[in-house]
Structure 1
């Protein structure tokens, strides 16, 4: 199982650090034949790469913190079995997981609230997740009610109990949901491509997607005119595939760096968060 995950990634690593023209000869599997940073230089030479990194970091940090906190607050309110209308709210939330309004109504909604071409389109629409709410709510229900009762005797209100007791006890599920949310924000290229027109507001994933498509289009154009541009074609060491591999490394690297810090919470967070009474 581990090899099925590691070996493809090693192949991506080898192709990313090998000149694309040389890689087309084949024979590269888990280690570069010729070490080169040409693919990464192409990725990082984009004029607005710095702003794209900034946008991605902003949306990942702000979007993750806000989404996890607000979803946890909703889960805490809905965990009580004595909440009036609690079952109705949960059925309504579950309903939103099954049906979608479609991309055109969604675009019209964002445009009507002035979120298109706005940096907050990366944060506000993702503040709530029905699936995450169900997972966190289930985890909260495993916390013994006597802890809340003792806190109320000590004079704590609902918000104080949530912040000082529930959240500290829920670190495993919060870490897991936080990482899933962060990965979703970091990898999302769709929002920047469809709802943003300003180039300086596009995140890294969208920028790299556009760069990859441009590189493949340029390569196809040169291939079609290979007779007149043979020398130029030979000098180009970057191919669409090699650029794709470098793009994967750039996008995945931050997640790989963060993962070890929350990995210890994964088993406990997923297991307890999925328990049903």
Structure 2
């Protein structure tokens, strides 16, 4: 049996990919170790991939707040509902723009693309949300972000690569455009749907800006916004103790610092995406046309 030989380019590619993986994994392990380490001990440094003084106080500090579970529910609601509606409407818009018989298709495509080039700014955007009664409402997290021009263009490009013979055969059999879309296009488009869905879900889950600037009701704050506010308060407390004492002596009385709480916050926000991603990844490279049509 002939032994496989590795070329220089293959070895170089493996080396580069390994470096990229390490550049992502090692900082994450460091953050994980710091999140499980006592805050005051972590300030001494020297913690890399394993906690020196194991403690769960950082996470207890986060979850002892009664509003955390409510904020978690808001984040789950906006992520699930917002992602589902956005992916469906984006796919419908992309399918319509991919239809060659659509009147004014080129103009509509240019009009949609034009919105990527210019923005009205934060103040006009806030005024529009106010006029639509979306501020201080849970729907401010969902309705303004239903459509993304970039996602529409990605889906339209994907739909254009699907075989026309499938659509022609469906129309000959008497299928309507809605039947073609739901029974043929969507099942054949799992990779792009999974990709766009993941983009939307990550955006919804990590968004703290909308809750901080467009919502005043504390019961409508998502988890990312709530954790960001908790982090700000904890850091302000640590800074106040330092100013009053002039040393780290007062900080010894607390086991949770702003930095340690920051690490725990990062893990809490990132963990759900890490858990869900492996279940979606299989659709990224899955063939979509296998067995659909034999030319």
Instruction: With the length of structure 2 as denominator, give the TM-score of the two structures.
Output: 0.88
> Do the aligned partners of 1:14 and 1:32 also contact (CA within 8 Å) in 2?
yes
> Which whole-Å CA distance do the structure 2 matches of 1:39 and 1:151 have between them?
57
Q: What RMSD, in angstroms, separates the aligned Cα atoms of the two structures?
A: 1.4
1:34 equivalent in alignment to 2:80: no
> Which whole-Å CA distance do the structure 2 matches of 1:184 and 1:85 have between them?
32
> Do the aligned partners of 2:37 and 2:52 also contact (CA within 8 Å) in 1?
yes
> Which whole-Å CA distance do the structure 2 matches of 1:8 and 1:188 have between them?
22
Pairwise mapping of residues 123-162 of structure 1 onto structure 2 (< 5 A)? 123-162=142-181
1:197 equivalent in alignment to 2:195: no
Which string of whole-angstrom CA distances, capped at 9 and with x for unpartnered residues, describes residues 126-165 of structure 1?
1111000000000000111111111111111000100000
| Count of aligned pairs | 268
> Do the aligned partners of 1:110 and 1:116 also contact (CA within 8 Å) in 2?
yes
Which string of whole-angstrom CA distances, capped at 9 and with x for unpartnered residues, describes residues 210-232 of structure 1?
000000001101100016x9764
> Do the aligned partners of 1:226 and 1:233 also contact (CA within 8 Å) in 2?
no
> Which whole-Å CA distance do the structure 1 matches of 2:285 and 2:64 have between them?
40
Q: Which residue number in structure 1 is paired with residue 266 of structure 2?
A: 248
Q: How much does 1:80 deviate? A: 2.0
Q: Which residue number in structure 1 is paired with residue 283 of structure 2?
A: 265
1:48 equivalent in alignment to 2:48: no
> Do the aligned partners of 1:20 and 1:238 also contact (CA within 8 Å) in 2?
yes
Stretches of structure 1 lacking an aligned partner (at least 5 in a row): 270-277
Stretches of structure 2 lacking an aligned partner (at least 5 in a row): 1-19, 288-295
1:6 to 11, 22, 25: 25
> Which whole-Å CA distance do the structure 1 matches of 2:182 and 2:60 have between them?
46
Moved more, 101-110 or 257-266: 257-266
Q: Which residue number in structure 2 is paired with residue 275 of structure 1?
A: none
When Rg is computed on C-alpha atoms for both structures, the one with the higher figure is: 2
Q: How much does 1:90 deviate? A: 1.1
1:168 equivalent in alignment to 2:212: no
> Which whole-Å CA distance do the structure 1 matches of 2:177 and 2:91 have between them?
13
Q: How much does 1:268 deviate? A: 5.8
Q: Which residue number in structure 1 is paired with residue 17 of structure 2?
A: none
Q: How much does 1:266 deviate? A: 2.8
Which string of whole-angstrom CA distances, capped at 9 and with x for unpartnered residues, describes residues 82-129 of structure 1?
422111111111111111110000000000010000111111111111
1:99 equivalent in alignment to 2:118: yes
> Which whole-Å CA distance do the structure 2 matches of 1:212 and 1:10 have between them?
21
> Do the aligned partners of 2:40 and 2:251 also contact (CA within 8 Å) in 1?
no
Instruction: With the length of structure 1 as denominator, give the TM-score of the two structures.
Output: 0.94
Which string of whole-angstrom CA distances, capped at 9 and with x for unpartnered residues, describes residues 182-215 of structure 1?
0000000000000100000000000000000000
> Do the aligned partners of 1:78 and 1:86 also contact (CA within 8 Å) in 2?
yes
> Which whole-Å CA distance do the structure 2 matches of 1:85 and 1:241 have between them?
55
> Which whole-Å CA distance do the structure 1 matches of 2:98 and 2:186 have between them?
14
